[in-house]
Structure 1
């Protein structure tokens, strides 16, 4: 479990640093990565391209992990994300579902987001 959490923490830190610190050590070559917005990347080269293109124009201000759940080759991560996107601050809470291969590399990652602020329609 600890090794998986370290790998996920490294991935989140890469966004803060805007630097690839070894994506090939995190993801399999055939990674399927689905963003919370519905955009899908189908291999490591596409994930790397997205990372570099996104970070040229935008900045992750924080990506804080709140919790992990592990079961067999699956991990769920609960997080809070804040960025400067196209000149505006955006912020949301989210979850990632991750599937690992036998080499502790991520084969599949799908994000889900919940917009902020959250409102109660009855108040």
Structure 2
């Protein structure tokens, strides 16, 4: 990466060209379990680091969006995720899926926000 970095925390799919060329070596995966695309790379926990972190994406709407609109968006996303072309795209780009229902995603995001808030608040005490 320009010869300026000794280490970086990035998604493996972002650095695939550098991983394939040997310019970057993948040392660990931050997910709960080993990644299907990189089965030989140990998780951080396997290496003694209590770190579990996932990169997630979601579609959000403003609070108060009518339920009919939200339901239509959910159906549209579900339809896209069922398409063979989407599955091919995900595999070719080494992207994991996080199949969560709308209520589960709401809980997940709330948990992420609470965890980050707690972490940031703990930094003030140090």
The TM-score by the shorter chain falls in which range? under 0.3
Between Structure 1 and Structure 2, the one with more helix by share is 2
Between Structure 1 and Structure 2, the one with more strand by share is 1
**Looking at both structures, which has the greater relative contact order when contacts are Cα pairs under 8 Å and sequence separation is at least 6?**
1
